[in-house]
Structures are given as structure tokens and as C-alpha cells.
Amino acid sequence: MSFELEFDYEATTAAMDIFSQDHIDTLKDWTQTLDKSKYIPKDLTNKQLLLFYNACYGDVEKTKICIERYYNLRKNTPELFDNRILSLDDMKTCVEALEFSVLPGRSCKGYDLIYHRLHLTDPSKYIFESAAKMLFMTVDACLYKRGPQPGHIFVFDMRGVKLGHITRVGLLPLRKFFQYIQEAMPVRMKSIHVFNTEPVIDKVMMLIRPFLDKKFFDMIKFHAKEEDFENFYETIIPRSSLPPDHGGTLPDTQTLHKKCIQQLKSLEPHFAAEEQQRINALPDKKREKHMERAFKNLDID
């Protein structure tokens, strides 16, 4: 299956604040000069290149670095980016225990909104690697449908987060998680809003702070339960773009989550094609090892 993104290239580029087809052509030519040690596919489409180019605000050299880090991290972090199949046992647990959504509306400045929270609060139901995988699947689904955007905002609800959840997070996967978000994810990250900041937030920040650069750390905004949100609704995210638990008018979070899961299931062929494109770009020996590992990780009746 060939790899293709759904958004319209001509309409998207016409609406972008920074765009040059010459730059995209330059990036495509650059990919052809790389050897396989970079893990970068030579068949990257204009749409794929456009995501990175937009994320780097039209800076060609920064775009090259972002692409290199993206494929390096995806190659070296299979637990977050391979076998993106919701019927696998760990992913089924994740689907039941968590809630994800690309919120239907946008922020006051027109940014896309990615929402996440616990559904089941028992720490034994929480698997960090699976949760991170589903978060990145949700981001990829957003990019697949909507293409490059002026910005993205993550919205996290800490309701029900306990110390037990923190103890289930490994430092190496956590480091790779934040490395990908800060250095390789092809979006313009604008802010991260954390609702219902439980007392455990101090422990969470102690855990993640070593992995955050200052720019990213400054994007994180915390909101206590008793906060007056009127200014937030007027300047950050309107009520029309939030679920009822946060004073909004959207459907409830479980309804939004189920819709997101349906979309992710429908995109499993797309995720498989993206993974295959990466596998095809590997040197022969690494490609054989990758396929062998992927086969072993699948549940086979």
C-alpha cells in the first residue's frame, strides 16, 4: 500500500503563512542524496515534506534536522511508533483506560486541539508506552486529515492521576517521548494546558523537568479546579471547543473518545503504510531485524 495523506495540497499551501514550492523541491532533492544510515525514505511525498516545513516555519535547514530526528527516533523507539494496531492487548487496555480526542473545534487563535485524560483511574490499567503511542497516533490522525496548521495545543486533564501512575513510567521511554515532542514532531506546538492540577503535580514535574528545555517548559500552563475560566474561554479556548467537564458545549469526553477510536481504527492501513515506508528506507540487515521484531510482537492465534 502506498503512503498518502488526505489533506488537499493546493488548498493547504494557498492558506499557509510561509510557503515556497522551490523549498519543497529542494527538500525532496536533498532526500535523494542521503544514504540509508539516515533512515529517511527517498519516496517522501510533497505532503509529508510540507508538514515538517510548516513546523519549522519555512526554515529549510531546520526542516532537514527535524526530518532526520523524526526518522531516527521512530526507528529507535518501536514501542511508540510500530504496530499501531488497536486490537493488540496493550492497546485494547489503553483504549479502555484512557480518553483521547482531536477536539472538533479550535482555539481562539485557530490552533488544533489534542485532548487526553484518564477514563479508568486505577494505576494498574495505565501503560505509559501504549498511552504515548496512542497520543502520537491521535496527532498523526489530525495531520492526516487536516494537514499543516498554524499551531497545536495539547489539553491534559489530571483528574484521577495518582502517585501509582507515576511509578509506572520508565525514564528511558519518558526521555524519548519528550525528545520526539520537542525535536521531531511535525507540528507548531503553541502550549500545553493542564486542568485539575492534583497535589501529585509536584511529583509529576519532578519526574519530567529534566527532559524539558526552557522553551517547552514555558509552554505548560496549569489550571486549578477552583480557577475562574472566563478569561481562558475568551482568549485561549472557547467554550464551543471544550467538553462539558471543562465548561464547554461539545459532547462528553467518552463520546469524543469513541469517535477518535473509530477514526484511529479506520486509519490502521495508513499507519501500516507509514511504518512500511520507514522499513523500506532501512539498510538491508536493519530492515530484516525490524521485520523479525515486528512479527514477534504481533498477537497470532
pLDDT by residue for the chain (301 residues), tens only, comes to 567 899 999 999 999 999 999 999 999 999 999 998 999 999 999 999 999 999 999 999 999 999 999 999 999 999 999 999 999 999 999 999 999 999 999 999 999 999 999 999 999 999 999 999 999 999 999 999 999 999 999 999 999 999 999 999 999 999 999 999 999 999 999 999 999 998 899 999 999 999 999 999 999 999 998 899 999 999 999 999 999 999 999 999 999 999 999 999 999 999 999 999 999 999 876 665 656 665 565 554 3
User: In terms of DSSP H, where are the helices of the chain?
Assistant: 9-15, 21-33, 46-55, 60-76, 78-81, 89-97, 128-146, 163-166, 171-183, 201-208, 214-217, 230-235, 253-266, 268-280, 284-297
Q: What is the pLDDT at residue 289? A: 65
Q: What is the pLDDT at residue 57? A: 98
Q: Whose grid coordinates read 496512542?
A: 134
Contact 148/120 with Cβ under 8 angstroms? no
In this prediction the pTM is 0.94
Q: What is the pLDDT at residue 301? A: 39
Strands 189-195 and 152-157: parallel
Phi then psi for 117, rounded to 5 degrees? -160, 170
Strands 152-157 and 98-102: unpaired
Q: What is the pLDDT at residue 288? A: 59
The domain limits of the chain are: 15-81+277-299, 89-262
Enter the CATH code of domain 89-262: 3.40.525.10
Q: What is the pLDDT at residue 293? A: 62
Q: What is the pLDDT at residue 172? A: 95
In angstroms, the CA 8 to CA 175 distance is 34
In angstroms, the CA 25 to CA 165 distance is 46
